[in-house]
Amino acid sequence: MPSMENGSSNVPRAEEIKLQANEAFKAHKYGQAIDLYTQAIELNGQNAVYWANRAFAHTKLEEYGSAIQDATKAIEVDPKYSKGYYRRGAAYLAMGKFKEALKDFQQVKKICPSDPDAAKKLKECEKAVMKLKFEEAIAVPESERHSVADSIDYHSIEVEPQYSGAKIEGDVVTLDFVKKMIDDFKNQKCLHKRYAFQIVLQTREMLRAQLSLVDINVPDGSHFTVCGDVHGQFYDLINIFELNGLPSEENPYLFNGDFVDRGSFSVEVILTLFAFKCMCPSAIYLARGNHESKSMNKIYGFEGEVRSKLSETFVELFAEVFCCLPLAHVINEKVFVVHGGLFSVDGVKLSDIRAIDRFCEPPEEGLMCELLWSDPQPFPGRGPSKRGVGLSFGADVTRKFLQDNNLDLVVRSHEVKDEGYEIEHDGKLITVFSAPNYCDQMGNKGAFIRLEAPDLKPNIVTFSAVVSSLCCMSCHFFSFGYMFGVKKDQEPFLYEEV
């Protein structure tokens, strides 16, 4: 324990470091800000502001579990510090835990009864909780539910004579159609619902026929491209195709989850990927990410975007199709590709993943949850997830999984990286993230990985964002714009200044 004299002298130094951390935060260097806030906390752990500010930085990196821990510590240090409750409530909101968030915003309102932003967030939470209760009350039991896909006959949908957009002749999706559709999307034109239904329904049938773990064979002399999160950044998706070629049998891709949410063009992204899948099933493989789920789509924008651009029926249909997406892929029996990461127990075999019944919303624990949510950590063993879901796993866990399954490499996505990728765990794990300048504010590069057979040595290509294209629905994690009617140019968290 430091002496009282030393402790007293630490206070001004801690404040200096906090100001440096604030500057890093304002520059969107959230990892650096977390490191600096940590230093300030080590010098003076009894300042609730430091804990709350670090919670806010964790939130910006989508580390909601860590944000909740830090905000809780801020409340313990100062039970009357309103921002501690505010930031914990914000993290709960981001995780879809509306009832927990409601309690925290009620406390904020109690401490700051005249704060308009606190009142606004409380109202939003109350609305969300009421909506949840209503949905629970009218929910149909699982055993009685019918597939919305079975009720749709796209052939019977009339195409108006004045429609001048891309058209599918008959039942075959052609390259010419996909190119025309992409050009229409570039010009902010919509695809007719008849063809949108056709694409989504045909994709559903193909995905349903696949196993939860898909084996991919890349012939010697051929290549294969793995892309990470795209998150509705349509123009950056098209830039990938311009840099690396359109998907085809000779130029196949795997998009490793999180196609939608956050970005303003998630509908365009998912229809483009699905259309290529319909055109040539072996040209493009699709894996489920943690954002291909109802709960995430409600919070982060996709559900509202679909409702706005297409219809309520499409909301249900996409939810069904997302439950058909495979959970992982293995390339040439050597490279394991998954959105999130590995497991809370040793001994998981590829056969265990193949046997997962994936046709459901992701559970909050177990193999399927961990595949979609887990993250690597720099130290050995396993630890709690910084996200509050899944877990963190070390290089020893990665090494053991590879050895048990006679594999060479894990490729995963799920985390924004400054350079678009990161190589960890003694070179045995690569994170690839393909949404540059994520949410129009992170300043990161995007990346994709080209694997050349037979050695499958990863060649990583990085790229920058092509435009500042309205990428974020409503400033990072709070795409409540579609859920609560917040406009895109509104600042939803003025209260959250560090």
Length in residues, the chain: 498
Alpha-carbon span 254 to 344, nearest angstrom: 26
Tokens 């982060």, residue located: 300
Are the C-beta atoms of residues 433 and 417 closer than 8 Å to each other?
yes
Listed in sequence order, the residues at least 6 apart from 97 whose beta carbon sits closer than 8 Å to its beta carbon are none
* DSSP H or E stretch at residue 134: helix 116-138
Alpha-carbon span 484 to 296, nearest angstrom: 15
Question: Which listed residue (192, 231, 291, 414) is catalytic?
Answer: 291
Is residue 488 classed exposed, middle or buried when 0-12, 13-18 and 19+ CB atoms within 10 A define those classes? Answer: middle
Tell me if residue 302 falls in helix, strand or coil: helix
The β-bridge partners of 431 are 412, 422
Alpha-carbon span 316 to 148, nearest angstrom: 7
Ramachandran class of 439: left when φ > 0, alpha when ψ lies in -120 to 50, beta otherwise = left
| Strand blocks (E) in 156-235 | 213-216, 223-227
* DSSP H or E stretch at residue 460: strand 457-463
Listed in sequence order, the residues at least 6 apart from 183 whose beta carbon sits closer than 8 Å to its beta carbon are none
28 among known catalytic residues? no
Catalytic residue list: 291
